[in-house]
Amino acid sequence: MERKKYLWEKMTAFPISCKIYYNCEMDGALIISDLRATVEDKLILNGVDMHVRAGEIHAVMGPNGSGKSTLAYALMGHPSYRISSQKSLIKIGKKNIVSLSSEERAKEGLFLAFQSPIAIPGVHVMNLLRVAYQEIHEQGSSLVTKSSGVHNPVFGKLSTNGEVDLLAFRKTVKEYAQMLRIDDAFLSRGIHDGFSGGEKKKMEMLQALVLAPKYAIFDEIDTGLDVDALRVVASGIDRLVKNGTGVIIITHYQRILKYLRPDRVHILVNGKIVKTGKASLAKEIESHGYKHYTT
């Protein structure tokens, strides 16, 4: 405690952003600092800064081609999206995960729901969830420590050898599936195999709820959803946030934000966040568009 007080006093001459950064580190927040990323040697992200705490919702909005999906893939470590600056940081608390693979980032608590998830015939939903859960929450993983702040009913069901209690796990998955209005029959089918667009989005939401990440990124999860499915997915995100997960929602529109109240809304244009505001900023975009930020 005395050391924390000393460090804070030493920072009194620093800019307020440094103090926020320090607090976010101590809180275990997702810290994105000066993120620059290229795709096929073309610079797409040009210095993105964002701090997301546990249990917060941040919406990232912007016109087509502004770098929103690139942000999602760069955060998750897609190999085609190269971090182009040594100054770029992606941290969960004090740990910099920039150099980690996608699998390692998942184990540190990061999750990405894809905009257009692909089908994997033969890989059943229930089996995929069980194996993924066991890999991410294996003994010794930072996700199962008491300090993670994320709650999942399966956490207390691991046996002494690290294997998941299958009955308890299946019960939890089915409870979440019922909440998302996913028929049990889908759980024994190949992941996304023959699913409609709305069913795929619900299945991405189910994965997030079951895996209980520290931070979840939803890349345009509202695209192609009818009103009923949109409400269901929004309720899933709300449950995730109440369980302690920090959420980044990438979207073009305010539709899903009518059912969720974001703590922050960020406008991304040409690879940079040009404005950050409260939930009312999304309503402003709906009324006036992005013209003010692109001219």
Instruction: Sketch the domain layout of the chain as residue ranges.
Output: 35-294
Q: What's the pLDDT tens digit per position in 185-223? A: 999 998 888 888 889 999 999 999 999 999 999 999 998
Percent of the chain with pLDDT over 90: 63
Judge contact between 58 and 266, C-beta under 8 A: yes
Mean pLDDT of 264-268: 96
Kindly indicate the confidence band of residue 7, based on its pLDDT and cuts at 50, 70 and 90: very low
User: At 150, is the secondary structure helix, strand, or coil?
Assistant: coil
Q: Report the alpha-carbon distance of residue 138 to residue 142 in Å, rounded.
A: 9
Report which of residues 295 and 239 the model is more confident about.
239
pLDDT of residue 153: 52
pLDDT of residue 12: 35
Integer angstrom CA distances of residue 235 from 99, 179, 221, 239: 34, 9, 13, 6
**Which two three-digit tokens encode residue 21?**
């950064």
pLDDT of residue 150: 58
pLDDT of residue 145: 38
pLDDT at 152 over 60: no
CA 265 to chain centre: 15
**Which two three-digit tokens encode residue 153?**
């009913």
The model's pTM: 0.84
Q: Residue 287: is it exposed, middle or buried by C-beta count within 10 angstroms (0-12/13-18/19+)?
A: exposed
Is residue 276 within a helix (H) or strand (E), and if so which, with residue range? strand 272-277
* CATH class of the 35-294 domain in this structure: alpha beta
pLDDT of residue 167: 87
Q: Report the alpha-carbon distance of residue 19 to residue 175 in Å, rounded.
A: 41
Integer angstrom CA distances of residue 206 from 59, 110, 191, 233, 238: 20, 15, 12, 9, 13
